[in-house]
A and B are shown apart, each in its own frame.
Chain A
Amino acid sequence: MNSGLIFGLTGIAVFAIGLFGALVMVEPLRRVLALKLCSVGAGFLLVVGAWQAPPDMPDPVPHALVITGIVVMISATAVALALIRRLHSLERASDE
């Protein structure tokens, strides 16, 4: 079992934990965090795939993809958090 495989399986495991959380959690914030975990797992897998035995440089393409993915996920998280806050304030307003 080489290190690449271990890292790759770790990425898949992190993704799976996030997937489980996103499907099972009820609390809105926890579900957002679970989705973040999914994206970390997917990104991790790509970064692992980029590694090449020295002296070869790592493949830059997956790195570029992961950076794009991070940017996308930041925006998505921001929107989700804004929606959660909005929902909270609407619910508080209707309770009063």
Chain B
Amino acid sequence: MNDLPTLDWPTAVVFAPLAGAILAFAWPRRAAGIGLASVLLTTAAVAALALRVLAEGAVVTRLGNWGAPLGIDLRADGLSTLLLAMTAGVGLFVSLGALDSYAPARADERTRRYFWPLWLLLLTGLNGAFLSTDVFNLYVMLEVIALAAVGLTVLGGGREAVRAGLEYMYASILGALLFLMGVGFVYLELGRLDFAGLIAAEPAPALTAALALMIAGLLLKTALFPLHFWLPGAHANATAPASALLSGLVVKVSLYIFLRLTQYMPLPDELLVTLMGTLGAGAILWGGIQALRAERLKLLVAWSTVVQIGLIFVAFARAGQVGLAESWKAAALLILAHAVAKAAMFLSAGRIKDEVGHDRIQDLDRSPIRPTLAQFTFALAAISLIGLPPSLGFAGKWVLMEGAMAAGYWHWVGITMIGTLLSVAYFSRVLAGFLRFDRLRTPVAEHQGWALADTAPLVLALAALSLGLVAAPILAFMEIGYPFGATP
């Protein structure tokens, strides 16, 4: 390493989308072109970073050469890089789909103009959060993500979307402020905010309070039952590419921060680990029942997100306090599986709604138009979310149950099984509607498939299905740089 400030990959990963966001906002006529170029650039930077992490281990950048504890460090280890890659991959295909979904013929001027700056700003916040090494930086990134995500929620401009967006805004800001209060406690106790300081800290009541505040904020932002009230409305009423980003990526950031923090500041009691798992179990049951009752396709998909968040918390708690050193891997695998599959599912659900003209589940089988490709994509994504082999969802659930069985925590195995059965039931409601032709009186109309908006989710769904085959290398990659060690 030389002393000259060279353009390094972690910096590029954060600043490429930021530059794109500013350019796309300043030059709305070229927003789509700038947006796609910026996403491609970011993806390339993430790929380069991943190769470097694979070769050398964790990569650290000290912005402005200040160094911790005062300066801002960016650190990419296996887990960070994996989530960056997930964001880049999902983001790239959602962008490709959005090119088509927000084409001039299909979306109004305002939607097309504001989607790209908001999405690129969101990408900046996501990448920044995954690379952050101090809790205050995380707070700022959480706020950046919240503002961009609320903007994406209300992009459609309808009354329901704005109302849901406002509700989301309140929950999101409150979550961030709870987190900020926790950050304040950390600083008052330790006099520093970086992860290394958290790891070195002796347990103290103030730190326990800080951890409680930060976790409460994160649970609100990630929508763990019973703090999920804002999610179904916000995710179901947004336009399809925005929903895919919100459900696939945005809720994952708070989950990621939760995983990090609980490794640096271990939960002080076994009871709290069980509480997390129990809330997750509540999400699986309540979300599953609501998904069974949902009348609209996008609402069903949104409730399935609540279920999957719950499942990730069950994975976190699968082996109790002693198992935490391993359980984060199961949680991270499920985060990855859900991101890819749910983005595919929301995009295809949006396509079905666009083509058929409505998304009432009951009437899907009466439509003369059959968007077969989108329906096929939806089914593939459902396979991964249900957790059938060889999908990534299967690999995640397998690791979850393996750990729970080894620890003798059979109740987590049971709740995972129940969740799986429920998900088969509610996805079958939709899939049955795709397959029944007998209720249709008129001839089936011609459908124009193979648009970019159809292909992008199909690729994502196929990825969700086939990534399960490389689950072992993914798990190995996650551990690079000993993710939960201090900044070297």
Hey, which bits of chain A sit against chain B, CB under 8 A? Answer: 8, 15, 18-19, 22-23, 28, 31, 35, 38-39, 41-42, 45-46, 49, 59, 61-62, 65, 68-69, 72, 75-76, 79-80, 83-84, 86-87, 90-91, 94
Hey, which bits of chain B sit against chain A, CB under 8 A? Answer: 70, 136, 139-140, 143, 146-147, 150-151, 154, 158-159, 162-163, 165-166, 169-170, 173-174, 177-178, 180-181, 183-185, 187-188, 191
B147, A76: Cβ atoms under 8 Å? yes
B140, A87: Cβ atoms under 8 Å? no
- With A42-B184, A79-B151 already in contact, the answer to whether A35 and B166 are too (CB < 8 A) is no
10 additional contacts (CB under 8 A) given A35-B174, A49-B184, A86-B154: A38-B174, A39-B180, A61-B187, A62-B184, A69-B139, A72-B140, A76-B146, A80-B166, A80-B173, A83-B150
Chain A residue nearest to B137 in the complex (CB): A68
Within 8 Å by CB of A31, from B150, B170, B183, B187, lies: B170
Can you name 8 A-B pairs with beta carbons within 8 Å? A15-B181, A18-B177, A19-B178, A31-B170, A38-B174, A45-B188, A65-B136, A83-B154
Chain A residue nearest to B144 in the complex (CB): A72
State the Cβ distance, A87 to closest chain B Cβ, in Å. 5
B180, A42: Cβ atoms under 8 Å? yes
Within 8 Å by CB of B187, from A19, A46, A94, lies: A46
Q: What's the dominant secondary structure at chain B's contact region?
A: helix
Q: How far is the CA of A83 from the CA of B181 in the complex (A)?
A: 26
State the Cβ distance, A38 to closest chain B Cβ, in Å. 4
Residues of A within 8 A of B154 (CB): 83, 86
State the Cβ distance, A15 to closest chain B Cβ, in Å. 6
Instruction: Identify which of A23, A31, A42 gathers the most chain B CB atoms within 10 Å of its CB.
Output: A42
Q: How far is the CA of A90 from the CA of B162 in the complex (A)?
A: 9
Q: Which 6 residue pairs spanning A and B have beta carbons closest together?
A: A49-B188, A38-B177, A90-B159, A72-B143, A42-B181, A42-B180
Residues of B within 8 A of A69 (CB): 139, 180
State the Cβ distance, A94 to closest chain B Cβ, in Å. 6
State the Cβ distance, B185 to closest chain A Cβ, in Å. 8
- With A31-B170, A79-B169, A91-B159 already in contact, the answer to whether A62 and B180 are too (CB < 8 A) is no
A42, B177: Cβ atoms under 8 Å? yes
Residues of A within 8 A of B139 (CB): 69
